[in-house]
Structure 1
Amino acid sequence: MRRLLLALPFALLPLAIAQAADEHDHDHEHGSLGAHEHGVGRLNAALDGQTLELELESPAMNLVGFEHAATSDADMAKVAAARAQLEKPLALFSLPAAAGCKVASQKLESPLFGDKPDADDHDDDDHDEDAKGGEAHHHDHSEIHAHYQFTCAAPGALTTLDLANIFNTFPATQKIQVQLISPNGQQGTEVTAKSAALKF
């Protein structure tokens, strides 16, 4: 399922993050290149033929307002609400109806969801984290990962990707760093609530 995203130029991502950190928060540069920066999410997007893959990674703080295990009823309700929103990717990513996209698969991962027993296992860098380069497992304790694959009947209608609904739904998210591969090439960019759309 990750074959499209494996082609992403991950080498560009630390540069974009480092530049953003230079402009904004110097205190976030302590060795991790801002990989886990509150208010900042990451989106990998790849369009190949009729297949669109989107992979969203975000600190839990951006989506639910905390990073600890949900134990109170109020916290569990926030986690359930965030998960319910993430389970509606067609609405969340505002995919144009003309493209005729249907969800082929979706996978949500976070220790907060309680459905991935090995999420906080200390051996987790021995298995599926390696498929993503291994760098993410240090932050898994407080990250939410959402991976979607769509089949689009008219992919030519996917001219833009509008992330406004993500900012509206999760207002603690201030910016999203995007890596995008499409038939027109690849680009790395950063979107904010005020400028939430990018061109394929």
Structure 2
Amino acid sequence: MRLPLRILLTALLPIQNLMAAGVHQHGAAQLDMVIEPPLMAISFSSPLANLTGFEHRPSSDAEQQSWDDTLAQLQRAEELIQLSAEADCSLSRVDLHLPFTAKSRIQSNEHEHEHEHEHAHDDVSQNSHADLMAEYQYLCANSPALKVLQLPLMQRFPAIELLEVQMVTPSGQHQRTLTAKQTGLQLP
């Protein structure tokens, strides 16, 4: 029996992470991955400060530009997560879970793609911490060829110093910690 990806993604959260769900650490981000051939789901979450330099609704033109650039960058999964060509993977869905709504040029209907979705939660006060999550779903014709992921996302967002990785693969559950200088993730 195959389990839905959402159930498998929850298997990535050890009990201590569930208890510490409110932890918000600048400089650190989380990447959760489930590979259940032919499907692969990746969830990337980070404090907003790691991505934009601030954690509130944009309040200046410069902050608005940073917000727009960040959202556009997160939509371009191929620049953040690079899969081996041999695996023959295609991106089937991108979901952004935003901490608040803000005027953004990329949110206009003429620029949205069928597989891109944004969800906003307007529960962030001016002084609170905010996180942003991006989910990517792939279909891979040759999943066994997934041996290494290249993750240039830390170069795209240099405020991320550590990337905590949790994976559920056909070989079991695994954890890794990558530093900013590491861009390759060996898959078990």
Query: What band does the TM-score fall into relative to the shorter chain?
Result: 0.7 to 0.9
Q: Which moved more, 1:71-80 or 1:140-149?
A: 140-149
Shift of 1:88: 1.2
Deviations 1:94-122, CA, capped at 9 Å, x for gaps: 111221111111100113453645x1349
1:46 corresponds in structure 2 to 34
Once residues 59 and 167 of structure 2 are traced to their aligned partners in structure 1, the CA distance between those partners, rounded to angstroms, is 37
Are 1:10 and 2:37 counterparts? Answer: no
**Distance between the aligned counterparts of 2:15 and 2:88, measured in 1?**
33
TM-superposed CA distance for 1:196, in Å, is: 3.0
Q: Does 1:184 align with 2:171?
A: yes
Distance 2:58 2:154 in 1: 23
Residue in structure 1 matched with residue 90 of structure 2 by the alignment: 102
- The DSSP-based 3-state class of the residue aligned with 1:2 is helix
Q: Distance in 2 between matches of 1:64 and 1:110?
A: 13
- Report deviation, 1:91: 2.4
- In terms of fraction of residues, the more helix-rich structure is 1
Q: Are residues 166 and 184 of structure 1, via their aligned partners in 2, closer, same or farther at CA, if it must alter by over 3 Å?
A: same
C-alpha distance in 1 between matches for 2:16 and 2:90: 30
Preserved contact between residue 12 and residue 188 of structure 1 (Cα < 8 Å) = no
Q: How many residues align?
A: 165
Give the alignment's Cα RMSD to 1 decimal. Answer: 2.4
SS of equivalent residue, structure 2 residue 6: coil
SS at match of 2:78: helix
1:189 Cα deviation from its structure 2 partner: 1.5
Divergent runs of 4+, >4 A: 31-34
Unaligned runs of 5+ in 1: 15-30, 123-139
1:170 aligns with 2:154: no
1:112–1:121 Cα change, 3 Å: closer
Residue pair 1:13, 1:188 contacting (<8 A) in 2 also: no
Query: Which of 105, 108, 120 is 2:122 aligned to?
Result: 120
The correspondence for 1:69, drawn from 35, 57, 79, is 57
TM-score normalised over the length of structure 1: 0.74
User: How much has 1:184 moved relative to structure 2?
Assistant: 1.8
Q: Distance in 1 between matches of 2:129 and 2:41?
A: 24
Identity among equivalent positions (%) equals 33
CA–CA distance in structure 2, aligned partners of residues 183 and 89 of structure 1: 23
More strand by share: 2
Alignment-derived partner of residue 193 in structure 1: 180
TM-score by length of 2: 0.79
Q: Name the amino acid aligned to 2:7.
A: R
